[in-house]
Structure 1
């Protein structure tokens, strides 16, 4: 069954609201992380994704899927973090074509320092967005989402 023009318009408005919520949150979080830790929101998301794995590492393609970046963007981001001593890469022992990325001790320390500020900035951004009628239902939905279990690879 084909969607009506009204349904498509509603879909477009919903997508615009979701994109707006994401941009507002990311901008607020980015400012906080940059100011306090010289860390971008994307860099934080990479460190966070890796730290939530039981063994603190993922294959590069899994990491790209998890943080929703292209392979090349993930490689550039990992290289920047590796240059800062926050990540390391190594060849997969079972498949020499595979490359793992893992958080270093320095990366875990920085993440631990940055996490409270990240969480405070996230909460503040959500609270501010909840004041906007078009965003309030999305904020409520975000607040009720269940996180994947620790160590779960979630592309």
Structure 2
């Protein structure tokens, strides 16, 4: 049974309880998403996140350091992810022509194809588990609120 909380009741929750509900809602929804991605593509959450970020990046590539920063991975973590994706021929490392210090992680043709299939699956799951549950207007409000928190609390 789903527990609904009225607007008035949610205002009466203490701050810790409010934040706990945000985290629990995100975690439960995210678990469903990652379970479906793992079943369909045998990707762990970090690999899936990397493919999705690369598919949205110009030229389907990003500097590995920027990818680490944006996805909140360590540089060593991105290296391990890049190794696993390269082993599966989904991504390749390519040096920057202008700066030898910069290494790009770039989708291969096979990686671009799989990333697009992944994006379609994730879109469908997000629609069913987030947008359809909250309604389009509330889903946008949540996304806008989380973007505001991201900016306000960026390191």
TM-score (norm 2): 0.72
Distance 1:10 1:91 in 2: 51
Distance 1:42 1:125 in 2: 20
Provide the aligned C-alpha RMSD in A.
Answer: 2.9
Kindly indicate whether residue 139 of structure 2 is the aligned counterpart of residue 117 of structure 1.
Answer: no
**Map of 1:51 onto structure 2:** 55
Aligned-pair distance for 1:142?
3.0
TM-score (norm 1): 0.72
Q: Name the CA shift for 1:72/1:115 in 2 (closer, same or farther; >3 Å).
A: same
Distance 1:120 1:76 in 2: 28
| Kept in 2: contact 1:28–1:122 (CA 8 A) | no
| Kept in 1: contact 2:60–2:112 (CA 8 A) | no
Where in structure 2 are there 5+ consecutive unaligned residues? Answer: 1-12, 148-155
Per-residue CA deviations over 1:67-111 (Å, capped at 9, x if unaligned) read 221211121112111111000002222221211111111011111
Kindly indicate whether residue 105 of structure 2 is the aligned counterpart of residue 101 of structure 1.
Answer: yes
**Map of 1:4 onto structure 2:** none
**Map of 1:87 onto structure 2:** 91
Alignment partner of 1:93: what SS? coil
**Map of 2:141 onto structure 1:** 141
Aligned-pair distance for 1:63?
0.5
Distance 1:47 1:91 in 2: 19
**Map of 1:6 onto structure 2:** none
Tell me how many residue pairs correspond in the alignment. 134
